[in-house]
Amino acid sequence: MQQWIKDAAGLGTLFWLIGYFASLVLFFSPFYASMGWILLTLCTPATFIITWWWFRSRTLPISYYMKVGIAWTAIAIVFDYLFIVLLLNALYYGVDVFIYYALTFLIPVSVGLYLTRRQKKPEGQLEH
């Protein structure tokens, strides 16, 4: 259970905080109007890499990765609403935000699919 908390709540909150602080920096820049797209472009590859690195050495069922994706998405939605919509009175929900929520779920699931398939390959089988 402790590892689940680290994987779901810990890593999900860390990713949200990184995006939140980066958005605050961009908010006070000339790139304010495009900050959602900038964050998607920069944070998505970084999130994939960190997620792969975090889970790379463990053998877990795909259902675990799906639960992590659900937890990360729930964290993102709740924290966005509390700390952006309510706290900052921001009009927030554009296309970029819905893509971000979809990616928040899909990143751990796709990493899990990749790792699960890689672990199931028989030794000596070459990838094409």
Is the pTM here over 0.85, yes or no?
Answer: yes
Instruction: Tell whether 39 is covered by a domain.
Output: yes
Look at the block and give the residue holding tokens 């009175």: 89
**Does the residue 125 lie in any domain?**
no
* Number of domains the chain is built from: 1
Is residue 128 domain-resident?
no
Q: Which residues contact 116 (CB under 8 A, 6 or more apart)?
A: 60, 61, 62, 65
CB 100 within 8 A of CB 76: yes
The sign of the CA dihedral 49, 10, 36, 114 is positive
Distance between CA atoms of residues 54 and 62, nearest Å: 15
Is 126 part of any domain? no
CA-based end-to-end distance of the chain: 38
In a domain, 124, yes or no: no
Classify residue 106: in a domain, yes or no.
yes
**Domain range for residue 105?**
2-119
What average pLDDT score do residues 100-116 get?
A: 97
Question: Tens digit of pLDDT for each residue in 73-98?
Answer: 999 999 999 998 898 887 778 899 99
**Confidence (pLDDT) at 1:** 79
CB contact burial 94-126 (16+ within 10 A = b; e otherwise): eebbeebbebbbebbbbbbeebeeeeeeeeeee
**Average pLDDT score over residue span 45-59:** 97
Q: Residue 124's pLDDT is what?
A: 58
Furthest CA-CA distance within the chain: 57
Q: What integer best gives the mean pLDDT of the chain?
A: 92
How much is the pLDDT for 32? Answer: 86
Question: Which of the four pLDDT bands, split at 50, 70 and 90, describes residue 54?
Answer: very high
- Asked whether residue 31 is domain-assigned, the answer is yes
- Domain membership of residue 114 (yes or no) is yes
d(CA 85, CA 44): 22
